[in-house]
Amino acid sequence: MSSTLLVYLHGFRSSPRSSKAVMTSEAVKALSTADNSMEWYCPQLLASPKQSMDMVTKHIDQSKADRIVVIGSSLGGFYTNYLAEKYGCRAVALNPAVYAARELAPHVGMMTAYDSDEPFDFRPEYIDELKALQIQRISNPSRYFLIAAKGDELLDWKEMAEFYQGAKQLILEGSDHGIADYADYLPKVLEFISP
């Protein structure tokens, strides 16, 4: 019997309750069989990138799973690159913020989460923490699957396509940053991450 640890990382100001996280979780649980158990891990990420990655790597390091798969959306996609390079595992990036330090520099200060009015302080030192986690280029494109929307109102899909050169790519003609039509592409994600 084999086991897979599936790590899902949400985006900036988002949570494990995001629609993509919930949809993926339900689909992954349905994939779990007697021969291949799927362990789902989708933590609430912290404001500090370093603390977030320390928490996630600690969970991965303690896992007894035979294989690891990471899926990340937006800022979670940036973290996905870091983890996929660290663990040499398969990764799915959904509209990833490939240069997160640059993208988030204008957002330093007090912020609120999308699905609660919970305030959090996004501090200047977190930009340095993001820079420390930056992957310059992916070492093995065949391990990656990029889903990027041309209609993304926050990030540049062309930059994503270039960053994941050689990887499996699904470039969506319209859609948006949150990939509102994600349910349509979930089967392709499951196909890519299946053992």
- Predicted confidence (pLDDT) per residue in 161-188, tens digit: 999 999 999 999 999 999 999 999 999 9
Q: Is 125 helix (H, G, I), strand (E, B) or coil?
A: helix
The pLDDT tens digits of the residues spanning 47-59 come to 999 999 999 999 9
The pLDDT tens digits of the residues spanning 70-93 come to 999 999 999 999 999 999 999 999
The pLDDT tens digits of the residues spanning 88-128 come to 999 999 999 999 999 999 989 988 887 777 788 889 999 99
Show the tokens assigned to 54.
Answer: 């320390």
Q: State the pLDDT at residue 104.
A: 92
Q: State the pLDDT at residue 103.
A: 94
Beta carbons of 107 and 124 less than 8 angstroms apart? no
Better pLDDT: 34 or 69? 69
Better pLDDT: 27 or 195? 27
Beta carbons of 16 and 49 less than 8 angstroms apart? no
- Residue 94 CA to residue 175 CA, distance in Å, equals 12
Helix segments in 34-115, DSSP class H: 49-62, 75-87, 100-104
